[in-house]
Amino acid sequence: MAPNLHIEVDGHFYSVPYPLVKRQVDVRLSATTVEVLHQGQRVASHVRSPRRGGYTTVTSHLPERLLRWAHTIGPATAAVTAQLLGARRHPQQAFNTCFGVLRLSTSDSEAHLEAACTRALTLGTVSYKSLAMILEKGLDQRPLPTLEASSLPPDHANLRGAEYDH
């Protein structure tokens, strides 16, 4: 089983309950149904799909643990996790990325990961690669950049304000 909560059957991916990730499961197929069995007990049943590369996911199979873990680290980490999940048409495709991000808290501290997530959200660079680089370079411990007045364009007669009527 792939560590992203799905098993592949005839080129289509079907969810299994999160506690069974990386566990051995059996599959029973009919023309219309995919049944997933663990130790002889049915743990999931899906309508069989002919769509190769597609995903069929039962919401109750989603890992609440992933979201709880993110929230225990901090609000920025939870926001990054939610953004990563929301960025995909099928949120389950972001599970590996989310787990990778959360595992960064084991090599660095949770406080460092939370600071890195805050920086990534502020800069709009939310990705595993970006967070790993922020932590690697110690940028999580530096002050966030601010937009100084000198970096703003000066008032100019050719600039249109909110009152502009076209």
Domain boundary among 44, 60, 76: 60
| Residue 88 within a domain | yes
Q: Is the pLDDT of residue 149 over 70?
A: no
Domain boundary among 41, 60, 79: 60
pLDDT tens for 2-33 read 456 789 999 998 988 877 877 899 999 999 99
**In angstroms, what is the C-alpha Rg of the chain?**
22
3-state helix, strand, coil in the chain (%, to 5): 45, 15, 40
| Residue 125 within a domain | yes
| Residue 164 within a domain | no
Q: Are residues 103 and 122 in the same domain?
A: yes
Predicted confidence at residue 2, as pLDDT, reads 43
Predicted confidence at residue 117, as pLDDT, reads 95
**Are the beta carbons of 126 and 83 closer than 8 angstroms?**
yes
Q: Are residues 76 and 125 in the same domain?
A: yes
Q: Are residues 73 and 127 in the same domain?
A: yes
Q: Are residues 28 and 82 in the same domain?
A: no
What pTM was estimated for this model as a whole?
0.57
Q: Is the pLDDT of residue 157 over 70?
A: no
pLDDT tens for 91-141 read 777 888 998 999 999 877 999 999 999 999 999 999 999 999 999 999 999
Neighbouring residues of 109: CB distance < 8 A, sequence distance ≥ 6: none
Q: Which of 9, 93, 88 is nearest to 1 (CA)?
A: 9
Range of the domain at 33: 6-60
pLDDT tens for 34-64 read 999 999 999 999 999 998 888 787 767 766 7
